Amino acid sequence: MVTAEKEIKATLPRAFDGSRKDMKKFLREVLLYIALNPKAFTTDRSKKLFLLSYMMDGPGEFWKNDKTDLLLAFDPEAEKVSWADFIEDFKTSFEPLDTALEAQLKLRDLKMKERADEYTYQFSYLAKQTGYNDAVQIVAFKRGLPKSLVLKIMT
């Protein structure tokens, strides 16, 4: 008896307009969806078209249109491009120009608002991307804490 595997009901990626600040989030959502549904994406071509189908308007439209036209025309050169190479091309085209600087700026503006665990998680995530050493990270961590909490910790 053959049983068909059902597609996992994962959240579909949000539309991507080509903005560099949203590239990582979009790519993570696409890769997660594809990983959860390998039977639906058995070829590099299907993975590429899936990613392209969620690119809407914005700065990425020309990139999307170029890649889509080639894939839909079954262009031999487009078919030779592996999924890994396609992802690298996507990253090169849409990754923030300076990820470390972007993380540093976000870390500078990060403040603990309510929950310490949320602040700690966000801080750790950003700190990994900054290239900062431990001493600089400690200063940045304290800067984001409420002054009353810093005073309690220091005394």
pLDDT in tens, 52-75: 999 998 888 999 999 999 999 998
Give yes or no: residues 88 and 117 share one domain: no
Is the domain of 24 the same as that of 89? yes
Residue 71: closest CA among 58, 91, 55: 55
For residues 55 and 13, the answer to whether their CB atoms sit within 8 Å is no
- Residue 10 covered by a domain: no
CA–CA gap between residue 90 and residue 88 (Å, rounded): 5
Q: Which of 45, 79, 94 is the last residue of a domain?
A: 94
pLDDT at residue number 94: 92
Report how many domains make up the chain: 2
SS3 92: helix
Taking each helix axis as running N to C, give the angle between helix 61-72 and helix 83-94, from 0 to 180 degrees, rounded to the nearest 10: 160
Q: Are residues 65 and 119 in the same domain?
A: no
Q: Is 127 a member of any domain?
A: yes
What is the pLDDT at residue 4? 55
| Shared domain check, 143 and 85 | no
pLDDT tens-digit profile of 79-92?
899 999 999 999 99
Per-residue pLDDT of the chain (155 residues; tens, 9 = 90+): 444 566 778 899 999 999 988 999 999 999 999 999 999 999 999 999 999 999 998 888 999 999 999 999 998 888 899 999 999 999 999 988 788 888 899 999 999 998 989 999 999 999 998 999 999 999 999 999 988 887 888 77
| Res 71: pLDDT | 94
Boundary (domain end) residue, out of 78, 94, 110: 94
The answer to whether residue 64 is domain-embedded is yes
Assess whether 69 and 123 both reside in one domain: no
Tokens of 52: 């392209």
Domain span including residue 33: 20-94
